[in-house]
Structure 1
């Protein structure tokens, strides 16, 4: 990897250990191919609310579920070409304190991301997701502060993109970025298949990717010649600063 590409980084903050796969697996794989070093933080293993299949096996403990979820997430991250770490903050409920906030701010400082992906700001079906979004944004602000751990390099102002929630209309999520992930769909689907504990979502998120692909193709126009089949949607938080509107 050249010096230029070695300095490209991205950060993904996932509430649970499978969220990053369903919602941002294409972006992770695509930017990995472009030379980005993508780092994933899983705040929770999703051991209580998102592991029903594992619990139904019987003779299961929370530690066994966490171990299984960690194994799935690590396998998926490897396929997507990303590094990963786990905060193990609990699940249903997921709760954050000052220590967790500063820990995430330290990850921002360490990674120095060029962009950040995380959850929607609202989700009436899963309060862990907005918490992850709020924690990410506050950690970003702290990591930008000169007075936080003086002497360390601060974070600039990486754009933050909110990936697609399971129920976008109820979450007031509206995509303004459509990412073509056709070239890396095979990798994303391979990563999806690592999530054995939530096999019921494999087909659902395939349909989501196809729908966003159709929308992306329509927005670039047939004349572009781009054969977009699969896509991911994102909602930006901050304005784009540019000298070129093309």
Structure 2
């Protein structure tokens, strides 16, 4: 997942998959990467495993006379509006949250998405999160579905997926989640799209400025890591932790 100056034509046939535990997670944590890659010509598809209707919709519940179905509907509308701004497609598994639990059918359903999308990279949550068990549950599901989608014996005759790199996007409290970024993505050119998508999340308005500060922090770090000689003025960034090693013939 590299920020590149190559044109959209070079990426026209490429795709990416984002596995989000709740319907707003992809916006806060990966909205820049999504907008960046759709702008480059990637087809980015988002799977929201749940709407976050129980644990991440406090503002909606405080309105009173609210039901779970009404909250889900509001969260769906927010996520669809955000995905449209970012240029991605989105689907909802509606698995429930707090707790998020997967059945074998859910696992196979996600494996089928891998087969359909054939992603060149995958974005999902950190491997650990003591504050929100739904997040690593989503990561484990994304990882296991990837493995199944690679298996020749799963639905023989279908094209298997290759070995797409998996990047863990930034959790809310990275130090407690043992999350350490080894990729800093410059999202300055698409920050306006990410912030517009953030503003779709009316049910979690308290996070709008928090994730603006996170993006500014990662932007500063990205700027320092490319050195002072670069002509690029990096202002906003996103951090990612890769699960698998990068295979290359050149280290530069």
Q: TM-score category by the smaller chain?
A: over 0.9
- Is the aligned partner of 1:14 residue 2:10? no
> Once the two structures are superposed, what CA deviation does each residue of 1:150-173 show, in whole Å capped at 9, x if it has no partner?
000000000000000000000000
For 1:38, the equivalent position in structure 2 comes to: 44
Q: Give deviations 1:20-60, integer Å, cap 9, x for gaps.
A: 00000000000000000000000000000000000000000
Structure 1: any 5+ residue segments left out of the alignment?
Answer: none
What TM-score, normalized by structure 2, do the two folds share?
A: 0.96
Name the CA distance, whole Å, in 2 between partners of 1:241 and 1:175.
18
Which residue of structure 1 lines up, in the alignment, with residue 228 of structure 2?
Answer: 222
Aligned length: 246
Please, what is the CA RMSD of the aligned residues? 1.1
- 1:108 corresponds in structure 2 to 114
Check the 8 A contact 2:191/2:236 in 1, yes or no: yes
User: Which of the residues 142, 149, 153 maps onto 1:143?
Assistant: 149
- Write the distance in 2 (CA, Å) between the matches of 1:229 and 1:55: 36
Distance 2:67 2:129 in 1: 28
| SS of residue matched to 2:241 | strand
Query: Does the alignment pair 1:127 with 2:133?
Result: yes
For 1:199 and 1:238, the matched residues in 2 are separated by: 34
Query: Scaled by the length of structure 1, what TM-score is found?
Result: 0.98
| 5+ residue gaps, structure 2 | 1-6
Equivalent runs, 1:63-212 vs 2, <5 Å: 63-212=69-218
Structure 2 counterpart of 1:56, from 46, 51, 62: 62
Matched residue SS, 1:99: helix
Shift of 1:3: 7.6
Note the C-alpha offset of 1:220. 0.1
CA shift, 1:4, in A, is 5.5
Q: Is the 8 A contact 2:8 2:40 kept in 1?
A: no
Q: Which runs of 4 or more aligned residues in structure 1 lie more than 4 Å from their structure 2 counterparts after TM superposition?
A: 1-4
